[in-house]
Amino acid sequence: LGALLRGSLAPSCELFGLQDPPARTGESSGVAYLAQHELLQQCPDLRAEVAVPKAWQQALGPPTRSNVWLGTHGTVTPCHWDSYNNCLAQVQGLKRALLLPPEAGACLHLDAGGADGAAAQGNLSPVDIESPDLSKYPNFAEA
């Protein structure tokens, strides 16, 4: 984790700050991403600094898990469906999120495709939401 912070995240913050991310080029050079990491369980002092909004707790109860995602400038999260509730807190930089209603999940063409790792959850969509190929993924037009 320390190597990721020192070698990737800190330089990315210094280089780009709050600027808009560069156009996607398909290259992953300089992009690092740590997903679903239980950092708050590993660092109790940091956990003490993170408050879950009262409205969240009133509506949904206390969180059952708290994961942290860390990414450099240019990190793109693929279109996906989550089976659990999420609270996004963007600490540095910018993140654009497209939220779809739960019933749109059927239009995302979700498929584990025999994949290993994160794709094996069956919650990732192959659709590029910025330029969807509706001839290949026609149901996405209804999302």
Q: Which of 42-51, 55-64, 126-135 has the highest mean pLDDT?
A: 126-135
| Distance (Å) of CA 21 to CA 18, 92, 94 | 9, 12, 8
What is residue 92's predicted lDDT score, i.e. its pLDDT? 78
Handedness of CA 15, 19, 23, 27 (dihedral sign): positive
Give the contacts of 33 (CB within 8 A, at least 6 positions apart): 69, 70, 71, 72, 75
Answer for the pair 66, 110: CB distance below 8 angstroms, yes or no. Answer: no
What is residue 45's predicted lDDT score, i.e. its pLDDT? 87
Give the contacts of 49 (CB within 8 A, at least 6 positions apart): none
Q: What is the pTM of this model?
A: 0.63
DSSP string for residues in 57-102: HHHH-S-S---EEEE-TT--PPPB--SS-------SS--------G
What is residue 132's predicted lDDT score, i.e. its pLDDT? 95
Extents of the domains making up the chain: 1-97, 99-143
| pLDDT beyond 90 at 138 | yes
- Per-residue pLDDT reduced to its tens digit, 92-124: 788 888 999 988 988 998 875 555 555 566 788
Report, as an integer, the average pLDDT of 7-13: 66
* Nearest CA-CA partner of 132 in 96, 79, 81: 79
What is residue 24's predicted lDDT score, i.e. its pLDDT? 47
